[in-house]
Amino acid sequence: MDEILINTANGVCTIQLNRPARKNALTAAMYQTLADSLRAVDAMPTVRVVLLQGHPDIFTAGNDIEDFLHSPPLQEDAPVLQFLAAISTFSKPLMAAVSGPAVGIGTTLLLHCDLVYASETAMFALPFSQLGLCPEAAASYLLPRLVGHQRAAEKLFFGESFTADEALDMGLVNRVVAHEGLLEVAQRQAERLAALPSEAIKATKALLREGQEGAVAAAMQREIARFQVLLHAPEAKEAFTAFMEKRKPNFNSHSA
């Protein structure tokens, strides 16, 4: 079964995460496919809008921990870093339809989307600290600018999940819709956008993002440098060991 489904119609390329048995947890192979697909469709004149979606019950649980531990992002060309570069520099409108949990990168990738529609069942979480790690995807730069420092700090420090309504209040999503109508609403909006003058839309996106490209790239570099150090630290090892052993981690012996 293909873990990434891609369909193009009416100027809209729909990219669906398709690993529901593993809660759409992302592997290195999936990141590579996503990165390659985004780069390819960015160069296709027939594609005017990209819509990212998961399944009705799950957007993504974030990284597949076993795969992540087997293939940590230690090289510059790591698939997840290729994906982050592709999504942060994508020149066309990028939309997301979120239903169910969106964990870790499932939330941070939304910071690079131009439009985000969520169902009433959507739940967001940024549990990096709980894994002994730091944010990625330039979240340390983009999130406080979107929601304010204190709110960003609360979400990143505690990693507690928050609802679609809170995400709407924060400005992370454009609209909350009924669960059963999410994909229809998102597809309709994508097709509306695809019918507009494409060069004008691309120019508007470029202007909206003017001045932040370098800052986003620099933030990603800072984050991955810290991320790689933390990944080998005792706290992360304890967090991942506890996760694999299905127990609560104990960080008391690893205090700074």
Taking only the tens place, the pLDDT of each residue in 93-131 is: 999 999 999 999 999 999 999 999 999 999 999 999 999
For 37-62, how does the pLDDT look when each residue is reduced to its tens digit (9 = 90+)? 999 999 999 999 999 999 999 999 99
Radius of gyration of the chain (CA): 18
Superfamily of domain 1-179+197-256 in the CATH hierarchy: 2-enoyl-CoA Hydratase; Chain A, domain 1 (3.90.226.10)
Q: Identify whether the C-beta of residue 209 lies closer than 8 Å to the C-beta of residue 73.
A: no
CA distances from 54 to 17, 27, 51, 183, 205 (A): 5, 15, 10, 10, 24
What Cα–Cα distance (Å) separates residue 48 from each residue in 5, 38, 88, 96?
A: 18, 12, 17, 15
pTM reported for the whole predicted model: 0.95
Region 202-215: mean pLDDT is 95
pLDDT at 176: 98
d(CA 104, CA 60): 9
What are the residue ranges spanned by the domains of the chain?
A: 1-179+197-256
Give CA–CA dist 220/73, Å, rounded: 13
CA dist., res. 92 & res. 209, Å (int): 12
DSSP string, the chain: --SEEEEEETTEEEEEE--GGGTT-B-HHHHHHHHHHHHHHHT-TT--EEEEE-BTTBSB-SB-HHHHHHS-S-STT-HHHHHHHHHHS--S-EEEEE-SEEETHHHHGGGG-SEEEEETT-EEE--TGGGT----TTHHHHHHHHH-HHHHHHHHHH---EEHHHHHHHTS-SEEE-GGGHHHHHHHHHHHHHTS-HHHHHHHHHHHTTTTHHHHHHHHHHHHHHHHHHHTSHHHHHHHHHHHHTS----GGG--
- Strands 49-53 and 12-17, by their bridges, are parallel
Q: What is the pLDDT of residues 13-40, one digit of tens each?
A: 999 999 999 999 999 999 999 999 999 9
Q: What gap in Å lies between CA 1 and CA 152, rounded to an integer?
A: 37
